[in-house]
């Protein structure tokens, strides 16, 4: 297997173990405490939620993840027109809640929901530090040897589940 | 890309409905949303124009349930079909794990179908993927249209890689679920095969003999026992759902597939103009996400909120915020005194920054 094949394998999926999640949660909990934000979500650039800490957001977290990944991707073209590879940070302000999106490493986004209990400067200050450490964690996850074997009957059980569902 | 979370025992995969404009991609997703069990479906979110045309994407999470101990979810997207929204289509394809190509069977739609499937392949290539290896199925939609193109002709033109095809009338729900099940089976098989070789990494011996390209082809579209050209599944592929109320229709022409005749047909005009009340409702549901904007004055208000009292900050905060390790490395570590000075300076700086930011 060539190095290129391996790189493609890693690009094809992300695998998380219990220890990874604990490390990510510790980092996010510390960030939430310092920044006094409501909620922090780690979202894959494809739109999949990796994990979430803090208060639950009102709407479906899956839908929010998809929209966040979509809006972040959409600004890439805007950045390109300005000669930037992409924008690393985005911010949306609402009447009650605001959200800051920040790129973590190559393919993950940190979405922070916060309200009047804190302010943008504080959130941005601590998120800059948190993303460095989170980026290191994701880089390690992407580079490590990972056994992601599934049960032998995964696809056949899946077919049966689909028959039951529809 | 597939996300496998062993901590949460969850697998997420991304499925995209692709095809030319007005071919029925959003209608397919709406039918899935309407008929999937409440416990398994998420909210249908649409980012569309006032005219109900998809602007960015439609999105719906679908929970397939726990499969072999793993909660398996499909994140389902549609793309805008119009030619000039290609950059948007490309964005939605990022990390895709399976594609349902919804072709329009209309007599004048062949060129649009060809353009769209070429565009799909081009966009996949930009992500290092290809229909040759990516799990995909094709749905020949609008089989109830008078003068619908023969399946043989569509198959010959569009089914380059001999994948499984389905006939459908998405407006009435026919063929929607067989198509989805067909793709889901391919995607799940692909995931399992891919993960079977997942322990290989640089420097490690590939004891499984797994090779991404060949293996993906073996598990995905390339070797799915596809029907021969012109042999697309017919009646067995139709989802004659009881909820699909057949509408009175003009007699189809001889070119209409038999299942369309037996399964209830919608008027051609209605099928061609698929924006429905359900779609408008979905758009309205998504509407609250759009106006979440605020005036610049609000920004000032938020930034001017009283900051938390410094006394409430735990001492640990100072240590956490100090980027001392990086700075130490940057200084080259020439001596213990220098390092200690840098650490102290960084700590003081971080404390000051925190106070300043909190006071804003």
Reading the block at residue B359, the tokens are 């006071």
Lowest mean pLDDT among B28-37, B202-211, B251-260, B307-316: B202-211
What's the burial of A135, exposed, middle or buried (CB within 10 Å: 0-12/13-18/19+)? middle
C-alpha–C-alpha distance, residues B56 and B26, integer Å: 12
Contact B181 A162 (CB under 8 A): yes
- Residue corresponding to tokens 């600004």: A75
Residue A63 has pLDDT above 80, yes or no: yes
> Which domains are seen in chain A, by residue range?
14-145 (3.30.450.30)
Residue A123: per-residue pLDDT? 96
Claim to verify: residue B253 and residue B300 sit in the same structural domain: no
> Does B177 have pLDDT greater than 80?
yes
Assess whether pLDDT exceeds 50 at residue A150.
yes
Query: Domain check: are B354 and B276 in the same one?
Result: no
Contacts of B8 (CB under 8 A, 6+ apart): A16, A21, A51, B71
Q: Say yes or no: B14 and B39 in one domain.
A: yes
**pLDDT band of B130, cuts 50, 70, 90:** very high
The beta-carbon neighbor of A165 closest among B12, B64, B317 is: B64
How many CB atoms sit inside 10 A of residue B304's CB?
10
| Shared domain check, B177 and B56 | yes
Structure tokens that stand for A118 in this block: 């804190």
Number of domains making up chain B: 2
Do B174 and B68 lie in one domain? The reply is yes
Answer whether B259's CB lies under 8 Å from B140's CB: no
If you search the block for the tokens 């993950």, which residue do you land on? A108
A79 part of contact set with chain B, CB < 8 Å:
no
Other C-beta atoms lying within 10 Å of the C-beta of residue B149: 23
Cross-chain Cβ contact A70/B47 below 8 Å: yes
Question: Per-residue pLDDT averaged across B212-241, rounded?
Answer: 37
Among B17-26, B48-57, B204-213, the least confident range: B204-213
Higher per-residue confidence, B269 vs B149: B149
Instruction: List the single residue in A62, A92, A155 with the smallest CB-CB distance to B75.
Output: A62
Q: Tell me which of B10, B32, B196, B202 to substitute to probe the interface with A (most A C-beta atoms closer than 10 Å).
A: B202
Greater confidence, B261 or B132? B132
Query: Taking 60 as the threshold, does the pLDDT of residue B325 lie above it?
Result: no
Cβ separation B4–A93 shorter than 8 A: no
With beta carbons less than 8 A apart as the criterion, state whether B129 and B103 touch: no
Instruction: Tally Cβ neighbours within 10 Å of residue B217.
Output: 18
pLDDT exceeds 60 at position B339: yes
Answer for the pair A75, A95: CB distance below 8 angstroms, yes or no.
Answer: no
The pLDDT of residue A118: 94
Task: Report the alpha-carbon distance of residue B222 to residue B238 in Å, rounded.
Answer: 23
Could you tell me which chain B residue has the CA closest to the CA of A62?
B61
pLDDT digits (tens, 9 = 90+) for B28-66: 999 999 999 988 888 888 877 666 677 778 899 999 999
Nearest CA in chain A to B177: A166
Residue that is last in its domain, among B233, B266, B289: B289
The mean per-residue pLDDT over the stretch B195-216 comes to 39
A14 pLDDT tier (thresholds 50, 70, 90)? confident
Of A113, A9, A96, give the one whose Cα is nearest residue A52.
A113
Give the gap in angstroms from C-alpha A21 to the nearest C-alpha of chain B.
7
Residues of B in contact with A166 (CB under 8 A): 35-36, 177, 180-181, 239
The rounded distance, in Å, linking the Cα atoms of B10 and B4 is 6
B279 and B315 part of one domain: no
Q: What string of H, E and C letters represents the secondary structure of B266-296?
A: CCHHHHHCCCCHHHHHHHHHHHHHCCCCCCH
Select from A13, A161, A164 the Cβ nearest to the Cβ of B1.
A13
- Assign B332 to helix, strand or coil: coil
Please choose, from the candidates B77, B72, B94, B70, the residue with its C-alpha nearest in 3D space to the C-alpha of residue B1: B94
Task: Check pLDDT > 80 for residue B337.
Answer: no
In this complex, the residue of B94, B195, B323 whose CB is nearest that of residue A148 is B195
**3-class secondary structure, B56:** strand
Q: Is the dihedral of CA B16, A90, A60, B53 positive or negative?
A: negative
* pLDDT value for B153: 95
Residue A147 to residue B212: CA distance in whole angstroms: 16
Task: Quote the ipTM score.
Answer: 0.78
Q: Of the candidates B257, B289, B321, which is a domain's last residue?
A: B289
More confident residue, A85 or B312: A85
Which pLDDT value is given to residue A12? 58
Residue contacts between A and B (CB atoms, under 8 Å): 242
* Partner residue facing B360 (CB), from A1, A121, A147: A121
Q: How confident is the model at residue A5 (pLDDT cuts 50, 70, 90)?
A: very low
- Distance CA(B248)–CA(A90), nearest Å, equals 51
Long-range own/partner contacts, residues A7-11 (CB < 8 A, 24 or more apart): A8/B128, A8/B212, A9/B194, A9/B197, A9/B198, A9/B200, A9/B212, A10/A142, A10/A143, A10/B201, A11/B1, A11/B128
Question: What pLDDT score does A76 carry?
Answer: 82
Q: How far apart are CA B349 and CA B22, in angstroms?
A: 58
**Cβ contacts of residue A72 below 8 Å, gap of 6+?**
A45, A90, A101, A103, A109
By the CB < 8 Å criterion, does A58 face chain B? no
How many whole angstroms separate alpha carbon B274 and alpha carbon B87? Answer: 24
Residue with tokens 């089989």: B143
Q: Which of B73, B192, B320 is the closest to A154 by Cβ? A: B192
- pLDDT of A140 > 70? The answer is yes
Average pLDDT of the residues in A132-149:
85
Instruction: Give contacts of B45 with chain A, Cβ < 8 Å.
Output: 63, 66-67
Closest residue in B to A18 (Cα) is B7
Residue B75 above 90 pLDDT? yes
Chain A, window 133-162: residues with a beta carbon less than 8 angstroms from a chain B beta carbon: 144-151, 153-155, 157-159, 161-162
Same domain, B15 and B97: yes
Same domain, B216 and B75: yes
> In this predicted structure, what is the pLDDT of residue A101?
94
- Across A139-143, B41-45, B267-271, B348-352, least confident range: B267-271
Last residue of a domain, one of B262, B289, B316: B289
- Which residues form the domain of B22? 3-289
Query: What Å distances lie between residue B119 and B126, B197, B350, CA to CA?
Result: 11, 31, 51
Measured distance CA(B360)–CA(B345) in Å, rounded: 23
The per-residue pLDDT for B194 is: 79
Cα angle vertex B103, ends B101, B109, to 5°?
A: 145
Cβ contacts of A144 on chain B, cutoff 8 Å: 201
- Is the pLDDT confidence value at B168 over 50? yes
- How confident is the model at residue A166, as a pLDDT? 79
**Interface test mutation site (partner B, options A46, A79, A138, max chain B beta carbons within 10 A):** A46
- B301 and B279 fall within a common domain: no
SS3 (DSSP) at B317:
helix
CA dist., res. B106 & res. B103, Å (int): 9
Helices A61-81 and B86-93, packing angle to 10 deg: 130
> Is any Cβ of chain B less than 8 angstroms from the Cβ of A78?
no
What residues pair up with B174 in beta bridges, in sequence order? Answer: B169
Looking at residue A11, what is its pLDDT? Answer: 53
What does the pLDDT average to over B324-329?
34
Dump strand ranges (E) for chain B: 2-5, 10-18, 45-48, 54-67, 70-78, 98-104, 136-141, 165-167
Of A15, A22, A162, the CB nearest to B184: A162
Residue range A122-135, pLDDT digits in tens: 999 999 999 999 99
pLDDT value of position B51: 64
Distance from CA of A132 to the nearest CA of B (A): 10
> CB of A91 within 8 Å of any CB in chain B?
no
Q: In terms of domains, do B110 and B17 share one? A: yes
* pLDDT exceeds cutoff 50 at B228: no
The CATH code of the domain that includes B11 is 3.40.50.300
The whole-chain average pLDDT of chain B stands at 69
Do B205 and B117 fall within a single domain? Answer: yes
Q: B220 and B205 in one domain?
A: yes
Burial of B347 (C-beta count, 10 Å sphere; 0-12/13-18/19+):
middle
Return d(Cα A158, Cα A15) in angstroms, integer.
20
- How confident is the model over A97-113, as pLDDT tens digits? 999 999 998 889 999 99
Say if the Cβ atoms of B61 and A122 lie within 8 Å. Answer: no
Six token digits for residue A86:
């992409």
What are the DSSP calls for A36-50, one per residue?
T-SEEEEEETTS-EE
């Amino acid at each position: 297997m060539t190095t290129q094949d391996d790189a493609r394998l890693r690009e094809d999926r992300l695998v998380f173990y219990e220890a990874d999640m604990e490390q990510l949660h510790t980092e996010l909990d510390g960030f939430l405490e310092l920044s006094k934000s409501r909620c922090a979500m780690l979202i894959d650039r494809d739109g999949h939620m990796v994990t979430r800490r803090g208060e639950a957001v009102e709407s479906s977290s899956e839908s929010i993840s998809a929209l966040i990944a979509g809006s972040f991707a959409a600004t890439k073209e805007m950045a390109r027109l300005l000669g930037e590879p992409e924008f690393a940070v985005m911010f949306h302000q609402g009447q009650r809640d605001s959200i800051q999106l920040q790129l973590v490493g190559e393919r993950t986004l940190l979405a922070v929901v916060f309200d009047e209990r804190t302010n943008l400067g504080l959130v941005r200050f601590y998120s800059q530090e948190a993303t460095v450490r989170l980026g290191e964690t994701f880089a390690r996850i992407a580079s490590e040897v990972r056994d992601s074997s599934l049960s032998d009957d995964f696809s056949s059980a899946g077919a049966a589940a689909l028959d039951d569902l529809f | 890309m597939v996300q496998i979370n062993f901590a949460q025992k969850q697998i997420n995969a991304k499925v995209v409905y692709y095809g030319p404009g007005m071919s029925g991609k959003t209608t397919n997703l709406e039918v899935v949303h309407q008929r999937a069990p409440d416990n398994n479906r998420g909210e249908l979110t649409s980012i569309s124009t006032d005219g109900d045309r998809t602007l960015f994407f439609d999105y719906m999470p679908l929970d397939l349930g726990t499969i072999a101990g793993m909660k398996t979810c499909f994140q389902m997207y549609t793309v805008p079909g119009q030619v000039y929204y290609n950059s948007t289509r490309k964005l939605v394809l990022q990390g895709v794990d399976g594609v349902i190509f919804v072709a329009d069977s209309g007599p004048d739609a062949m060129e649009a179908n060809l353009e769209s499937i070429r565009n799909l392949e081009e966009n996949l290539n930009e992500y290092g993927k290809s229909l040759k290896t990516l799990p995909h199925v094709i749905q020949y939609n609008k089989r109830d249209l008078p003068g619908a193109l023969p399946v043989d002709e569509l198959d010959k033109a569009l089914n380059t890689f001999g994948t499984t095809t389905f006939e459908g009338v998405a407006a009435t729900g026919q063929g929607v679920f067989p198509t989805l099940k067909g793709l889901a089976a391919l995607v799940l098989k692909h995931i399992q095969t891919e993960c079977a070789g997942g322990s290989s990494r640089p420097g490690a011996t590939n004891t499984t003999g797994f090779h991404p390209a060949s293996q993906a082809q073996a598990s995905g579209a390339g070797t799915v026992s596809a029907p021969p050209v012109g042999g697309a599944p017919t009646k067995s592929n139709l989802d004659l759902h009881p909820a699909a109320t057949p509408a009175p229709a003009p007699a189809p022409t001889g070119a209409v597939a038999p299942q369309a005749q037996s399964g209830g047909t919608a008027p051609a005009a209605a099928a061609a103009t698929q924006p429905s009340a359900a779609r408008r409702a979905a758009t309205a549901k998504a509407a609250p996400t759009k106006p979440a904007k605020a005036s610049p004055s609000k920004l000032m208000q938020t930034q001017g909120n009283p900051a938390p009292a410094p006394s409430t900050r735990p001492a640990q905060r100072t240590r956490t915020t100090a980027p001392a390790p990086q700075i130490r490395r940057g200084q080259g570590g020439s001596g213990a005194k220098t390092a200690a000075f840098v650490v102290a300076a960084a700590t003081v700086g971080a404390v000051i920054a925190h106070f300043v930011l909190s006071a804003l």
